Structure 1
Amino acid sequence: MSDWKDICSARKSAQLASIPQEWIIQLPPETRTNVLDIPKDCGLLTTRELQITETTDVGILLRKLHSSEWSSEEVTIAFCKRSIIAQQLTNCLTEIFIERALQRARELDDTLKRTGKIVGPLHGLPISLKDQFAMKGLETIMGYVAWIGKRAESDCVLVEILYECGAVPFVRTNVPQALMWWETYNHVFGRTTNPYNRKLTSGGSSGGEAALIAMKGSPLGVGTDIGGSLRVPSSFCNLYALRPSYERLPYYGVVNPQEGQESISSVLGPMSNSMSGVKIFTKAIIDAKPWTKDPLALRKEWSEKEYCLSEHGGGKSLCFGMLWDNGISRPHPPLQRAMKITKAALEAAGHKVIDWEPHRLVEIYGNAEKIFCSDDDHDRRSQCELSGEPVIRMMSPIDDMQGHTMGESFSRSLVDKVGHRSAYDLWQLHKEKRELRKSHLEHWKKTSERTGTGRPVDAIISPTIAYTAAPHGLNTSASFYSAFSNALDLTACSFPVTFVDGELDVPQPPHPFRNHEDEAIFKLYSPDVFAGGPVGLQLIGGSQEEEAVISMAEIVDAALKVYSA
């Protein structure tokens, strides 16, 4: 065994040692794929703890915490226990710091008891964090063997603000090596699975966070997104998530691959089982004036006027553009059905849905991919070389699956030069990106001729990726449905719609394939393999439209619930 494997083994052993022995449960057989009900049945959680952790509306949780009906300590214990159950079933965690979290919860309870006042809008609420969010004294490993043992000397700005808001950080969650993949696997902590079906991926790169929240092991989590890393795992795990615009929420101190790459910025955002969690988190962080701590954070206060959709007809008779097919990769049948359900629900609620015409998406994605590849993978390779661990080139758990792995050939075909790009070449990509953003903006504005509202389309609705949660290793490295929001800096919110139904979502006959990716995605679909998996979509608004996008996503979510009732 090589040295790097010994280091990984020791780190996994240390992680196991951080789990209280009395919280170890009897594991189900590997043949049991759906493990969502095990927290209820395993006997570890009390009736009250089940009541607490089954409360998915974050607003209700906070009301009970702020009124002292539930103490922060008991709520934190409940979610700590459930997160450990989730870890044993899906391998979703990295850092586990229970005592630290409980000490924080007790301090908050004491403050509320002594003063009668809450510390902040998130007072007492346990919040989980993706492994990127540096916390003083804890490792931020990011799936790299070489980063084991490196402890943060200070909290990142987001963590500072969470403490000021009264939150209780309690666990951090798993990521893929170097992050930029739709599967969560690394040599240090291993593979995270989807609790709806452990044979399927929970997505990436916020896949650990998605699996944890889907197991109700956390009421509210924070992930990051540079190409869909919040929205894809949320769609795979039946969650809500917000991809905000560049610099709206504070990113300073968050550990990231390709640090210094600011052509397409990574952003942080909330993930939750409820839209209330998305709104409450976003408003709390913005109300904390993050621009006073992060020099890049925009000085833009929360706007109740924008949340009330002042620029979108007050939320009455909205017009949505439905992106049925981007012309690059055709969505699987469950996603096509989800879009039809959403269209019918919105029309039943008095809104209008028109077809969205995709605009220069191959050029937009090609530009983004060239920017991401400008260092010729130097960043990832150099970090792996520090320990001797190999660079992970595929996510399949089966060695002979290489020929079936999607994404690499099509993505590389968009990158006309492989190698380091000069500063001048990168500037040209920036220039091209600026022109593409302007072109897309004009395309959007022109939809006012078709909406009937006198306004352009209020938001776009589309898949986050062309398929639902896929078998491990068979996920593509490219998402043309989500990544264009990052390239164009469009605010987006993912939301759940339905579940894959083998009888309703029958395979379709072959269509003329546009590229290798489209063909591979088509051949991937099998109702038996995908049955039961969550089906989610995303709502895409304009840049810096967080308040409006949250509000419109709430409208869509409400319409779906009424329609499905």
Structure 2
Amino acid sequence: MSDWKDICSAKKKAQLASIPPEWIIQMPPKSQTNVMNVPQDCGLLTARELQITETTDVETLLKKLHSSEWSSVEVTTAFYKRSIIAQQLTNCLTEIFVERALQRARDLDEILKKTGKIVGPLHGLPISLKDQFTMKGLETVMGYAAWVGKYAELDCVIVEILYECGAVPFVRTNVPQTLMWGETHNHVFGRTTNPYNRKLTPGGSSGGEGALLAIKGSPLGVGTDVGGSLRIPSAFCGLYTLRPSYERLPYFGAVNALEGQESISSVIGPMTNSMSGVKIFTKAIIDAKPWTKDPLVLRKEWSEEAYRLSEHGGGKSLCFGMLWDNGVVRPHPPLQRAMEITKAALEAAGHKVIDWEPHRHLEIYKNAETIFVADGGHDYRAQCELSGEPVIQTMAPEEEAHESELSEPFVKYLVGEPEHRSAYGLWQLHKEKRELRKSHLDHWNRTVERTGTGRPIDAIISPAVAYTAVPHGLNTDSFYTTLCNALDLTTSVFPVTFVDTKIDKPQPPHAFHNHEDEAIFKLYSTDLFSGCPVGLQLIGGSQEEEAVIAMTEIIDNALRVYKA
């Protein structure tokens, strides 16, 4: 077998060769950390292509595609060119297959021209995919050197359904080695950076999607989430997303880490720059009856009644619980301000916001993280041993790493080194998790005594992460998100504001919860995070996708009115 470094080098060269030479831009200097305006300024995109790619509302894009005002070929070409700009700036892509995608777009244009009918609800829309979603004839590397050269024989179910819905899959995006990082770096493709500040991470494990969508190189992407992998990059990159409950959307055929671990299921979800994109994608996939292709998907059709919030007072006078501090890590000042803005916006819109009291958070966190490492790290080591590449131990860069006391994730202090559990030992963790879920549900239901609506709180609002995008190697905590995976709570993320150096001043020290809380407090510097997006998450009940989408739309509209 070739040396793993040679394998990685050859794959990276092949990726570069797949980019049309005329799409190579003159790069800005490395000292330019914010590259959000490069697509407008670099000269590669025509005025019409800029108009297309600056159209962030997915509903508007689809209307123009379905009316033939814009062809799928020109929309796909525009986003492809912009995605290649994003690749050069942030290293966000893995597989690039220009002619294949454009041929799909041409076929869709021809069908619409001949029949006057669209193929499906996503007709003509280019969609990016995290590098887990297998596509027939393409490699699925997933951040492992040993997986280079693995060509898929079939499309995974979500890709199959996207084709049926008329979509145009056009790029795949970067992930971290093992997937189980809140950042994005591997030996094959390298490190993905955040276009708002390339010294900061876009998050992970769907970090390639986050960076690509932030710079508008795709109108809609598909990622996955087992501990925050949709929500962390969406919060760091100013995006909307939905983390659905277990088995609501089809996962079959996609590759994964920790395959066979089904106590805390990984789920797929959309990432986009508009709430319309979240709803349109989710409804389109559910309307395609995915349970006929994936035996694990619940036979649960899209419910307009649930979307109209029939179990939540019809969306009138909602009551939200605000989680200001989860008792593990206190949020940085910009997150605190985002929560205050959201509370004020909701109250101005006639809704109620009460404080949410954390319930057994450390127990839930420890249980979930212990389940994740119940194999003692065997899965990661086995995949790396196939090529001889080392298991990545840190996401910090070898050069110019930001100095911080955040040397190790808090979970290592809580769980210790990975221990290979017996089957019986794992069963005990599953048993404990069920009890914790019941206890949390009862705690939620008791809020009926405080809401004044005659029902428990409708949803929780909290940070998705305690901070905005951080320097590479320093995204150590994921409990605000992992809580929802462990309890299987449907969750969205929505953008609120940006870090403002004039407002988000460092605060005096507080009584620290633990070492990590203290280290994260010391990390905060207004200048370091200046201009970063600030997002929050909305946490609903299990299997409440329709209601969570509707409540997120209510919050998004309230914020627009309030800030106007």
Q: TM-score, normalised by structure 2?
A: 0.98
Percentage identity across paired residues of the two chains: 79
Distance across 1 between alignment mates of 2:112 and 2:407: 52
- State the partner residue of 1:182: 182
Post-superposition offset of 1:510? 1.2
Distance across 1 between alignment mates of 2:176 and 2:18: 22
Map 1:295-334 onto structure 2 (within 5 A): 295-334=295-334
Q: Which residue type is aligned with residue 483 of structure 1?
A: T
Q: Which runs of 4+ in 1 moved over 6 A?
A: none
Q: Report if aligned partners of 2:142, 2:175 keep a CA contact under 8 Å in 1.
A: yes
Distance across 1 between alignment mates of 2:199 and 2:16: 23
- State the partner residue of 2:549: 550
Post-superposition offset of 1:8? 0.9
* Residue 47 of structure 2 is aligned to residue 47 of structure 1: yes
Distance across 1 between alignment mates of 2:155 and 2:43: 36
Post-superposition offset of 1:502? 1.3
- State the partner residue of 2:134: 134
Q: Report if aligned partners of 2:402, 2:472 keep a CA contact under 8 Å in 1.
A: no
Map 1:332-371 onto structure 2 (within 5 A): 332-371=332-371
Map 1:515-530 onto structure 2 (within 5 A): 515-530=514-529
Deviations 1:331-372 (A, max 9, x none): 000000000000000000000000000000100010001100
Deviations 1:13-39 (A, max 9, x none): 100000000000000001111111111
Q: Report if aligned partners of 1:156, 1:253 keep a CA contact under 8 Å in 2.
A: yes
Q: Report if aligned partners of 1:405, 1:475 keep a CA contact under 8 Å in 2.
A: no
Q: Report if aligned partners of 1:142, 1:177 keep a CA contact under 8 Å in 2.
A: yes
SS of 1:529's partner is coil
Distance across 2 between alignment mates of 1:216 and 1:400: 28
Deviates more, 1:510-519 or 1:334-343: 510-519
Distance across 2 between alignment mates of 1:407 and 1:116: 59
Residue 153 to residue 411, structure 1, CA distance change in 2 (3 Å) = same
SS of 1:100's partner is helix
Deviations 1:14-73 (A, max 9, x none): 000000000000000011111111111111111111111000000000000000110101
Q: Report if aligned partners of 1:405, 1:473 keep a CA contact under 8 Å in 2.
A: no
Distance across 2 between alignment mates of 1:70 and 1:417: 55
Deviations 1:179-230 (A, max 9, x none): 1111100010001110111111100000000100111100000000001100
Q: Which residue type is aligned with residue 397 of structure 1?
A: P
Q: Report if aligned partners of 1:144, 1:188 keep a CA contact under 8 Å in 2.
A: yes
Distance across 2 between alignment mates of 1:402 and 1:112: 53
Distance across 1 between alignment mates of 2:111 and 2:269: 29
CA RMSD of aligned residues (A): 1.2
Residue 400 to residue 213, structure 1, CA distance change in 2 (3 Å) = closer
Deviations 1:304-344 (A, max 9, x none): 00000000000000000000001110000000000000000
- State the partner residue of 1:65: 65
SS of 1:461's partner is strand
- State the partner residue of 1:503: 502
Deviations 1:251-306 (A, max 9, x none): 00111001001010000000000000000000000000000000000000000000
Post-superposition offset of 1:419? 2.0
Q: Report if aligned partners of 2:235, 2:536 keep a CA contact under 8 Å in 1.
A: yes
- State the partner residue of 2:533: 534
- State the partner residue of 1:230: 230
* Number of aligned residues: 563
- State the partner residue of 2:512: 513
- State the partner residue of 1:464: 464
Distance across 2 between alignment mates of 1:92 and 1:405: 28
SS of 1:78's partner is helix
Post-superposition offset of 1:410? 2.5
Deviates more, 1:409-418 or 1:288-297: 409-418
Q: Which residue type is aligned with residue 50 of structure 1?
A: L
Distance across 2 between alignment mates of 1:315 and 1:336: 25
Post-superposition offset of 1:124? 0.3
Q: Report if aligned partners of 2:464, 2:493 keep a CA contact under 8 Å in 1.
A: yes
- State the partner residue of 2:77: 77
**Runs of at least 5 residues in structure 2 that lack an aligned partner in the other structure:** none
SS of 2:480's partner is coil
- State the partner residue of 2:558: 559
Q: Which residue type is aligned with residue 185 of structure 1?
A: H
- State the partner residue of 2:12: 12
Map 1:96-107 onto structure 2 (within 5 A): 96-107=96-107
Residue 384 to residue 417, structure 1, CA distance change in 2 (3 Å) = closer
- State the partner residue of 2:274: 274
Post-superposition offset of 1:416? 5.9
Q: Report if aligned partners of 2:134, 2:254 keep a CA contact under 8 Å in 1.
A: yes
Q: TM-score, normalised by structure 1?
A: 0.98
Distance across 1 between alignment mates of 2:113 and 2:403: 61
SS of 1:171's partner is strand
Distance across 2 between alignment mates of 1:450 and 1:481: 23
Distance across 2 between alignment mates of 1:202 and 1:428: 36
Post-superposition offset of 1:520? 1.3
Q: Report if aligned partners of 1:394, 1:405 keep a CA contact under 8 Å in 2.
A: no
SS of 2:200's partner is strand
Q: Which residue type is aligned with residue 96 of structure 2?
A: I
SS of 2:494's partner is strand
Q: Which residue type is aligned with residue 29 of structure 2?
A: P
Post-superposition offset of 1:403? 8.3
Post-superposition offset of 1:413? 2.8
Q: Report if aligned partners of 2:401, 2:472 keep a CA contact under 8 Å in 1.
A: no
Q: Report if aligned partners of 2:497, 2:534 keep a CA contact under 8 Å in 1.
A: yes
Distance across 2 between alignment mates of 1:405 and 1:249: 39
Distance across 1 between alignment mates of 2:99 and 2:456: 52
Q: Report if aligned partners of 2:174, 2:192 keep a CA contact under 8 Å in 1.
A: yes
Residue 405 to residue 233, structure 1, CA distance change in 2 (3 Å) = farther
Distance across 2 between alignment mates of 1:404 and 1:348: 40
Q: Report if aligned partners of 1:409, 1:516 keep a CA contact under 8 Å in 2.
A: no
- State the partner residue of 1:441: 441
Post-superposition offset of 1:11? 0.7
Distance across 2 between alignment mates of 1:178 and 1:416: 19
Distance across 1 between alignment mates of 2:495 and 2:412: 32
Deviations 1:373-399 (A, max 9, x none): 101111001111111111101011136
Q: Report if aligned partners of 2:324, 2:336 keep a CA contact under 8 Å in 1.
A: yes
Q: Report if aligned partners of 2:56, 2:273 keep a CA contact under 8 Å in 1.
A: yes
Distance across 1 between alignment mates of 2:531 and 2:275: 22
Distance across 1 between alignment mates of 2:409 and 2:532: 27
Q: Report if aligned partners of 2:402, 2:471 keep a CA contact under 8 Å in 1.
A: no
Q: Report if aligned partners of 1:193, 1:202 keep a CA contact under 8 Å in 2.
A: yes
Q: Which residue type is aligned with residue 270 of structure 2?
A: P
Distance across 2 between alignment mates of 1:552 and 1:277: 15
Q: Report if aligned partners of 2:120, 2:165 keep a CA contact under 8 Å in 1.
A: yes
